[in-house]
A and B are shown apart, each in its own frame.
Chain A
């Protein structure tokens, strides 16, 4: 009963944090798709310097803990230009996620049989037209479900933004638990929030997969 009460009374506080978490996740998704697309294009480039740059980017981003990346970006950027913690967190999360998105794109492209590319090129279709009209539509069925999964990971990762003072969902729970001395209650409540969103996203992911299956 006490838990239920806490669940209800904490809503006004947590919903503000929830809004920040959701916008952070949405921004991360958008920017990591753009960044990941650029990285995969560089990685597959025939120009060796570009593909070496992409390889190094992937190695560094995947080799550094997210929290370290956030700290480096937050304190690094703040020392040059004045940005708020939210922007720093959005950049850090996007960079972190972009490495995984690039790999998702790459495996999607590799999932398309080489004969498809040969057939398209044999018709006189350019490299670019082949990529956009033949490879990309077929890669999507592999890419989209994996992207939804990556979005789920980014949502949970966004809790780390609380370490650089972003007032998001997890931070709200931290403040509530400090004020009430009931950490268990509020961390349990905030976990339920995450669980509910992830549940909704998983449901959506299932729908997306079925949509692609139906198209044969």
Chain B
């Protein structure tokens, strides 16, 4: 793949020969992928294509059957201490938010800061409040997740991940569980994050987001990459028949 802009930047994530099998089912069948520093990579494709699995292999939530993942040149290992160390700097946002229901919005954001990053309580609090303000939820610091809408919960979840000062953010269908009218507020936060130069890997069905924000669109199907490149190429002028049929299907759904 020729991309002159990215030749000067270093790879943040390098996935080489990634294979993932669940029992006899092969979900990822030898994937090679690079995400450069500051780049927004969007993974699209039909359900069951392995998008979420690939994303979860990056921070070791799923263990690769074969192949390697390197983050900033450091090989992913599955030892507890190595995983914890890597994850400290790789944020993850889930489809179902997964906020801690027994903690307030602010406590959700401060817990790992004090326990993992060893920040003082006051520092963690200041940072937490600043991040809540940034995602537009300064007034909800003391609310429990059950008192927040889905969109608000997801914004708190993004703030929670950002609190660790990640160098890479992973988004696993962050708007799929939201009511349609709440999708925009979450995408807006993600858009701002991308504008600030955060390296992001996003699994989503939001084609407009992919078109507007992605530097790099990766279309997966049947465990492999069928098409990748800048959004205008992948979304508007796909070369493969598989990509064309997928894209025409989602257009029909729109």
Contact = CB atoms under 8 A, between A and B. Distances in A.
Interface of A: 113, 115-116, 118-127, 129, 133-134, 137-138, 215-216
Interface in B70-119: 80, 83-92, 94, 96, 98-102, 111-112, 115-116
B68 to A, nearest CB: 20
B87 A129 contact: no
Interface in B129-160: 144, 146-147, 157, 160
Contacts of A113: 98
A124 B146 contact: no
**Contact residues of B: prevailing secondary structure:** mixed
A127 B80 CA distance: 8
A113 B98 CA distance: 9
23 contacts: A115-B96, A116-B100, A118-B92, A119-B92, A119-B98, A119-B157, A121-B87, A122-B59, A122-B91, A122-B161, A123-B112, A123-B160, A124-B84, A124-B86, A124-B87, A124-B164, A125-B115, A125-B116, A134-B100, A138-B102, A216-B101, A216-B146, A216-B147
B101 A118 contact: no
Contacts of A119: 92, 94, 98-100, 157
Interface residues of B, number: 31
A215 B144 CA distance: 9
Nearest to A123: B112
A116 B111 CA distance: 14
B250 interface: no
Contacts of B98: 113, 115-116, 118-119
Contacts of A134: 100
A170 to B, nearest CB: 41
B80 A124 contact: no
A215 B98 CA distance: 18
A118 B161 CA distance: 13
A112 to B, nearest CB: 10
A129 B59 contact: no
A138 B102 CA distance: 7
Contact of A124 (B61, B85, B96, B147): B85
A214 B84 CA distance: 34
Contacts of B89: 124
A126 B88 CA distance: 11
B87 A133 contact: no
A209 to B, nearest CB: 16
Contacts of A118: 61, 92, 94, 98
Contacts of B96: 115
Given A118-B61, A133-B111, A216-B144, A124 B100 contact: no
Contacts of A216: 101, 144, 146-147
Contacts of B160: 123
